[in-house]
Structure 1
Amino acid sequence: MAMTKYAELVEAASRGRRDVLQKAFQDTRSHGMLTECARELDAVNNHITVPSDLVDEAAQAYTELGELLVEKLRWPSEAIKIMPQGSTSTRTLVAAPTVEKFDIDAVFHVDLHRIEAKNPMGFFEEIGAALAELRAEEKNRCWRVHYPNKRFFIDFTPSVPLANVPTEVRAGMRRVSQYAATAIAVVDRPTGQWKTSNPQGMVNWISTQADRRILLQVLLDNDVLAKRADIEAVPTQVVPLSDTLRVAIRLFKRHRDMAVRRDLVVGEFKPISVIVTTLLTQCYEGLADKGHYYHHPVELLADLAALLPHMVERRNGEFWIANPTVDGENFAERWNHDNNQRYDAFRRWCNLLERDFARILESVSPAQLRECVRETFGCTGAEASVAQVVRPGWLTAAAPTTVKPVPATRGLA
């Protein structure tokens, strides 16, 4: 039977990987440290979870933005919908290692008559004018709303249904195959044209892959691995270690942020979150397609770290990381026009990740392992995020919390 695309990518990545982490995992198992390692990584995962009250507050803020736009624009409320996108919607949002604000990405989706889609820049500017009292900042595809006294800001992306774009314009836009039902059109301000986007398709893809269980059994106590929570409309950001794909995305993003903070990776060229998320999900999908199963979440995390740097494709000499929800879109497009600075930063970060993960796995005592994990992910002393609270048994990690449902609105949340 022929291998799938991502199975082939994983097969090629496996030939290029080093065996450092495989050996380190065997050392951890021989030292009887697997449960302790899982417990410490789970504590980091909880520690970097953005507190539920902040997520609730941000969700309420973008609901109020939607209500403001309905009032200002006088468009029918039933034609307007606001949807979270990005890390919030995929449950991979992580707290920064500093007091910097986190961003909430939202799509402002307007389903009006097709004539409204003839002037993308007029549509974009009209929404910006309605946000004038909030001093929204114009970005390439969104309006950024700052909240001076809040821990977050909101990137608000105006969009219309892809079908609303005139046929002659749509013919020149990128196509969507597998996830066509959720595709939308957003304004690309540098070109003044519509651009195909599919944030809900990305959510569906990641959720579908995360639900594929390649972890055969949970060998840890219930206080280490919680039962997996159902995905909600405004998703809880609490994710158990058994949901290993999402945990990998969260831990690796935090490690990347620490590498930047320690000046080991130049912030301007760090791998952006959509690249980290896409490569890890492609890798996970490829492992699942190959029928590769794991007996322990730490082993799966180690494999993802080892395979990650080798998952980048080369097409006609160019770096390529395909958007699985929009045909022909390359998330690594900027890598091909910067003298390899972004790719070099990616490889440097991957090497640091592999090195640090090996150090964790090579720990020979619980105390050494705990110290190594905390130091690696910035969970000690001044490097611990001020958003977290103390819980017994872990110096600065936040206890898992339950997210309250967002108040019902007129279809805006």
Structure 2
Amino acid sequence: MNLPFEPRARVLAKTIQMRNEETQWESFIVKLLKKLELSEEKKKAAEARYYQLARHVARKLNMREEDVHVVVQGSMRTQTTIAGDGREKFDLDIVIKVSGGPLSGLPPDQFFYAFGEALKGLPDAGEPEPKNRCWRLRYPGEPFYFDVTPAVPLSYGITGTNLRVRDQEKGWSPSNPEEFATWFCEIAKLRFSFEQRSWLVVAEDASAKIDPLPRDPVRIDDILRRLVQLMKLHRDSYYRKLPDARRVAMPISVILVTLAAKAYQQMVTQSSGTFVSAIEVVLEVVARMPDHIKRERHIEVNNPAMDSTHPENFADKWNIDGGLRDREFKSWHHRLSDDLFALFVEDYNKRSEERLHAVFGDAGVKAWKDMQPKPTGVLGGLLASAPAGMASQPQRPRATGERDTLA
């Protein structure tokens, strides 16, 4: 008999406990996701370019460096990065706050294109490419690319938040990457009753780690961040082989992060003691995500860190595309739910490559194989000398959806 999804999360969690596989599954997922995070070497390379960019823009605009404030946003800020399997370049989303100087007082489009001129000549970055709100720097010789969003601070009277950015359709549009990241990080600190062990160390204040690049390791009990990583990995794998017409409508990360964080917060504040394991929390958060999409006259997933008098709807395009993005979210969400259940219902020791691939994709399967004990002796030597199957220098940017910068 097929159980409805919400009850089966509890049934499956108890089954895993009875099989004494809870710790094994959790440890496996954490180890696999950590193998797919951005390496320390790539972080340092990106960070070096990050500071170089700030100095270059200040010099080109003839401004003091302290008046050109560069802040990281997106997954690097919330510590939910997934670098993937090396076939696609990693994206680093940053905002450059420009206070005063020659761009002060310009209308949106003039501000945006004048800033683009200041990006030209940046060593090794390539020609700046305009997008809706940002400029893309492809860095042909690096495994990453930058999406650089210029912003004007002190903008409460115009957009209801401290920053405004140029938007092709709206003119000036609000942006608040620091507040959004703080909102997410505060929720990620929350813990369920089953996690309250004497050895648990309380996380440091996230505000001390925001700028420029957070370096705290993501802890093994950090359920929300691990779930966000897992969802992004599943989404990217799910859409990788689909037609472009569907890929452009895939759920953007900021919507997934917002829905997951709201569901997690609701669960931990209202019914913390009813959950027995991280696996159950993961399944239940996924189940509750659609409940936090507002469906009245319009579909809304509003920015939770934005002043309610100046709302920013992350799902605004869902209302003008004939229902395409709404259908894609429902399709992907249904597949994620089924794939997670199918994975965990298997005995841990019998987990199959097929099930792992459905959830984690090619990158996850490769990471899983890399985790296996390596053969020694003659066989080990032969395998070690085999040609690598992966390109060492990816050139294709990762598809992350439209206007996807906060998460």
Report the TM-score, using the length of structure 1 for normalisation: 0.78
Does residue 300 in structure 1 map to residue 281 in structure 2? Answer: yes
Is 286-295 or 343-352 further displaced after alignment? 286-295
Show the counterpart of 1:402. none
Q: Any conservation in 1 of the 2:116–2:128 contact (CA below 8 Å)?
A: yes
Structure 2 vs 1, CA of residues 116 and 346 (structure 1 numbering), >3 Å: closer, same or farther? same
Does the Cα contact within 8 Å between 1:47 and 1:379 map onto a contact in 2? no
1:309 Cα shift? 3.0
> Cα offset for 1:229?
7.7
Could you say which residue in structure 1 is the equivalent of 2:305? 325
Q: Are residues 132 and 300 of structure 1, via their aligned partners in 2, closer, same or farther at CA, if it must alter by over 3 Å?
A: same
User: What value does the CA root-mean-square deviation take over the aligned residues?
Assistant: 3.1
Counterparts in 2 of 1:340-351, with a 5 A limit? 340-351=323-334
2:277 maps to 1:277:
no
Work out whether residues 28 and 34 of structure 1, in 8 Å CA contact, stay in contact via their aligned partners in 2. Answer: yes
Larger displacement relative to structure 2 (90-99 or 256-265): 256-265
User: What's 2:392 paired with?
Assistant: none
In the aligned structure 2, how far is the partner of 1:120 from the partner of 1:215? 49
Alpha-carbon distance change, 291 to 27 in structure 1, aligned in 2, over 3 angstroms:
closer
**Inter-partner Cα distance in structure 2 for 1:78 and 1:45:** 37
8 Å CA contact 2:192, 2:268 repeated in 1: yes
Query: Which residue does 1:406 correspond to in 2?
Result: none
**Which amino acid in the other structure matches residue 340 of structure 1?**
G
Greater RCO (Cα-Cα under 8 Å, separation 6 or more)? 1
Shift of 1:380: 6.7
Gaps of 5+ in 1: 1-15, 177-182, 396-413
Give the structure 1 partner of residue 28 of structure 2.
Answer: 40
- CA distance in 1 between counterparts of 2:217 and 2:293 reads 29
- 1:9-408 map, 5 Å: 18-97=6-85, 99-112=87-100, 116-133=104-121, 134-163=126-155, 170=158, 173=159, 175-176=160-161, 183-191=162-170, 193-217=171-195, 232=209, 233=211, 234-236=213-215, 238-263=217-242, 266-293=246-273, 294-316=275-297, 318-326=298-306, 327=308, 328-368=311-351, 372-373=355-356, 376-378=359-361, 384=366, 390-391=370-371, 393=373
Name the CA distance, whole Å, in 2 between partners of 1:117 and 1:303: 48
Contact 1:104 1:152 in 2 (8 A): yes
Cα deviation digits, residues 31-62 of structure 1 (max 9, x gap): 22111111221122212211121122112112
For residues 164-186 of structure 1, what are the alpha-carbon distances to aligned partners after superposition, in whole Å with 9 as ceiling and x for unaligned?
Answer: x8x5xx2xx3x35xxxxxx3111
Q: Which moved more, 1:283-292 or 1:75-84?
A: 283-292
Give TM-score, length-normalised by structure 2.
Answer: 0.79
Q: Is the contact made by 1:215 and 1:297 (CA closer than 8 Å) also made in structure 2? A: no
Cα distance, 1:290–1:256 mapped onto 2, change above 3 Å:
same
SS of the aligned residue for 1:158 comes to: strand
1:129-158: CA deviation from partner (whole Å, max 9, x where unpaired): 112234100111111111111111101111
Deviation at 1:351, TM superposition (A): 1.0
Shift of the alpha carbon at 1:263? 3.4
Deviations 1:92-128 (A, max 9, x none): 1112346111110001111227991343332222211
Aligned twin of 1:407: none
Which blocks of at least 5 consecutive residues in structure 2 are unaligned?
376-407
Query: CA offset at residue 379 of structure 1?
Result: 5.3
C-alpha distance in 1 between matches for 2:320 and 2:17: 44
The alpha carbon displacement at 1:305 in A equals 1.8
Indicate how the Cα distance of structure 1 residues 226 and 38 shifts in structure 2: closer, same or farther if over 3 A, else same.
farther
**Residues 1:352 and 1:247: Cα distance change in structure 2 (over 3 Å):** same
In structure 2, relative to structure 1, the CA distance for the partners of 1:356 and 1:128 (3 Å cut) is same
Distance in 2 between the 1:296 and 1:226 partners? 19
Three-state SS of the structure 2 residue aligned to 1:96 is coil
Cα distance in 2 between the residues matched to 1:81 and 1:239: 26
Q: Which amino acid aligns with 1:338?
A: D
Per-residue CA deviation, residues 314-352 of structure 1 (Å, 9 max, x unaligned), is: 122x21111012232111111111121111111111111
**Distance in 2 separating the partners of 1:254 and 1:136:** 28
Q: What residue identity is the alignment partner of 2:152?
A: V
User: 1:25 is paired with a residue of what secondary structure?
Assistant: helix
Q: Separation in 2 of the partners of 1:390 and 1:228?
A: 31
TM superposition shift of 1:296? 2.1
Secondary structure, counterpart of 1:150 in structure 2: coil
- Does structure 1 conserve the Cα–Cα contact (< 8 Å) formed by 2:63 and 2:101? no
Question: Is the CA contact (8 Å cut-off) linking 2:237 and 2:361 kept in structure 1?
Answer: yes
Offset at 1:363? 1.2
Kept in 2, the 8 Å contact 1:92–1:237? The answer is no
Counterparts of 1:161 and 1:119, CA distance in 2: 14
1:183-235 per-residue CA deviation (whole Å, 9 max, x = no partner) reads 311122344x321110101111001111122253278xx9xx99968753311
